Structure 1
């Protein structure tokens, strides 16, 4: 029987330690997770003197609406560059226009590499 005047109190579960553990787990998984794979793009900048440039000029300017090979508009840069190349490993200098996105420049680099032209340098 309950005595008069004594009311049993219910114990409440403390939520603060549980919330702390949840936040610690959240921080751990955020720091440990990989949010996507990165791909490395082999690229040389023309500022370094790794290899001397020789032969005729091979400058490809990437514009938002087209390509210029040595200042002349070209729909097929590989065909325009082939008479200027002694071998596929000759250096080709790429220059991006003012309004060109990085993705457009990477697409042109991918097209040139798919055609077998591997020595690409980007003008700063």
Structure 2
């Protein structure tokens, strides 16, 4: 009993906080991030490096394809995308050669990939991508 006449009973120790809810949240976050992340290989685009960085002699006329947001140009001349492969094949040397691709005026990646796919489907696989 205290001086006031109240009996508070035995003194209790404060309860320790349970870590179980925090561990549950951590595991839920772990599962969420595992399920939302991508596993596996991304698509790989083969791009030639121009003889793997070694100096090589350019053969034939220039073959520079500029990809802009609204147009495609071959050596500075606007070209219809459907006629691009035929126009490039006329400029190619007999033993094959490289085609230089350059993105211009904020062209997005999808436009560049579309041009690369079009050229690859037309048999032009030696592509060099420049800035």
1:35 aligns with 2:42: no
Query: What is the TM-score when the length of structure 1 is the normalising length?
Result: 0.72
Gaps of 5+ in 2: 1-16
Cα separation, 1, equivalents of 2:114 and 2:76: 20
1:48 aligns with 2:53: yes
Using the TM superposition, give the Cα deviation of residue 97 of structure 1 relative to its aligned residue in structure 2, in angstroms.
0.5
Per-residue CA deviation, residues 58-110 of structure 1 (Å, 9 max, x unaligned), is 11111111111111111111111121113474100011112211110111001
Which of the numbers 17, 20, 23 marks the counterpart of 1:20?
Answer: 23
Cα separation, 1, equivalents of 2:94 and 2:28: 56
Cα separation, 1, equivalents of 2:72 and 2:79: 6
Q: Which residue of 1 aligns with 2:10?
A: none
Q: Which residue of 2 aligns with 1:121?
A: 128
Which structure's CA Rg is the greater one?
2
Q: Which residue of 2 aligns with 1:101?
A: 108
